[in-house]
Structure 1
Amino acid sequence: MSEKSLSILLIEDNLALAKQVCRFLEGLNWHIDFADKGKLGVSLATENSYDVIVLDLNLPDCDGLTVCQQIKAAQRRITPILMLTARDAFEDKAKGFMSGTDDYLTKPCDLRELAFRCQALARRPALHTNTVLEKGPLRLDTKAYTATFNDKVIKLTKVGFQLLYELTKAYPNPVARSDLISTLYNDELPESNPLKSHIYNLRKVLAQSSSALTLATIGNIGYKLEGLGNA
């Protein structure tokens, strides 16, 4: 295996198995953190950054499904979770995926397969994006579709949030009209162009929110967010 070294969090209460997994993955020059309880696993997962989390379902202090849900809810960076468990029934796998796991491997397993699955999960860029975008006092949460400026809520529609997100991500540069339309409609352009209306509504909301944020129209290019200083 010649791919990059990975950082793995292993949450497993079977110490013999944990040692075996750690020894094998460390032999690949990967960095491994270990937790034998769910609560400790959640703490490590939310305080540190990992490429993949390998999670057992049967833990002494709480169920692995609960641990998975808590990690997914608390993380700002979406880290893929691979459930490693002896439960091989379809119902157990279904519960795992519904709880937020990204892959499922049953025990006993070939540790080479475990490593390959970790590498595959680490290659999925969508699973490693941050769920919170912050520029100065502006904070956008893509999980909850919420926006705050200096901790004050900006009440946005979903479309307004999407527009503000794209403008914030590009700040201090402008965003082309065509790019904003593509974001809203996935390149399936509507018969009319309601972008101006959405921009008008977003300007109105920003003005009413008592924030310093404004939207500038940049000639024939598009729109630019202003009011974040050097963020």
Structure 2
Amino acid sequence: MTRVLIVEDNPELVGCLYAFLEPLGYVLDDARDGLTGLRTATQNDYDAVLLDVTLPQLDGLALCRRLRQEFQNPVPVLMLTAQASVDDRVRGLAQGADDYLVKPFSLQELHARIQAMVRRAQCRLVQGSLVWEDLTVDTQLPQAWRQGQHISLTPTTHKLLLCLMRTAPAVVRKQEMVYLLWGDEPPASDALRTHIHDLRQQIGRNFSSALIKTVHGIGWSLDRGQDAA
């Protein structure tokens, strides 16, 4: 089962994609503007995103850039656009897109390109892990290892830790973490600090040094094995 998000504001094209892809076994979601697309892509797990370039509220290039840079989301992205020049394709790929398809396109070719992107992503993620200092984190399962000891994570702390790992050593802003977990509907309480505390305990308990550093008034980052505040 392949789960795909369609971010496209043309209802006729969206209907055509549903009619073609669903009988092939795809599970589809769709968003009709860029901000909704970004929120949907970051709140759910997809095997691929079909992304129009010209969108209301947030264009596809900006959406792809934010998906990669802010949220460190590696989901394969296929740009769908009527802009056929080489410069347009280069701009899309430079923002983090994996492939580019010019409208009008063959649905059979679209299907083949989605399959190819998903295969490449699955190959990259086989036994995938991220490493920082003496900490290794599984990119798929909520687990990590530090100094040879296995660490069980919750789905939420796993998501936060992957974000920190992919951004390190740069700081992840508090607002980015809040959006990562809750989108535009954050809880009234400061639940994020509770999750950060839990993550500190999970990867720092029983070890001589902490790895998560608080950058006061801004957010958090991964430290080089020093005692972090």
TM-score (norm 1): 0.60
| CA distance 1:130–1:11, shift in 2 (3 Å) | farther
Structure 1 segment 133-172 matched on structure 2, within 5 A: 133=137, 135=144, 139=161, 141-146=164-169, 149=210, 151-152=212-213, 155-156=223-224
Q: Which residue of 2 aligns with 1:53?
A: 49
Structure 1 segment 23-172 matched on structure 2, within 5 A: 23-124=19-120, 125=122, 133=137, 135=144, 139=161, 141-146=164-169, 149=210, 151-152=212-213, 155-156=223-224
Q: Which residue of 1 aligns with 2:175?
A: none
| Secondary structure of the corresponding residue to residue 10 of structure 1 | strand
User: For 1:184-207, what per-residue CA distance to the aligned partner results, in whole angstroms no more than 9, with x for missing partners?
Assistant: xxxxxxxxxxxxxxxxxxxxxx3x
Q: Which residue of 2 aligns with 1:210?
A: 227
| CA distance 1:27–1:155, shift in 2 (3 Å) | same
| CA distance 1:155–1:126, shift in 2 (3 Å) | farther
Q: Which residue of 1 aligns with 2:18?
A: 22
1:144 Cα offset (Å): 2.3
Percent identity, aligned pairs only? 34
Separation in structure 2 between the aligned mates of residue 105 and residue 60 of structure 1, nearest angstrom: 20
User: For 1:118-160, what per-residue CA distance to the aligned partner results, in whole angstroms no more than 9, with x for missing partners?
Assistant: 000001136656779364589464432339747435533xxxx
| CA distance 1:126–1:145, shift in 2 (3 Å) | farther
Runs of 4+ aligned residues of structure 1 deviating over 2 Å after TM superposition are 73-77, 125-156
Q: Which residue of 2 aligns with 1:193?
A: none
| CA distance 1:74–1:49, shift in 2 (3 Å) | farther
Preserved contact between residue 10 and residue 35 of structure 1 (Cα < 8 Å): yes
Separation in structure 2 between the aligned mates of residue 77 and residue 88 of structure 1, nearest angstrom: 26
Q: CA RMSD in A?
A: 2.7
Residue type at the aligned position of 1:144: T
Q: Tell me how many residue pairs correspond in the alignment.
A: 156
1:31 Cα offset (Å): 0.2
Q: Which residue of 1 aligns with 2:186?
A: none
Q: Which runs of 5+ in 2 are unaligned?
A: 132-136, 138-142, 145-150, 171-199, 201-209, 214-220
Q: Which runs of 5+ in 1 are unaligned?
A: 157-205, 212-231
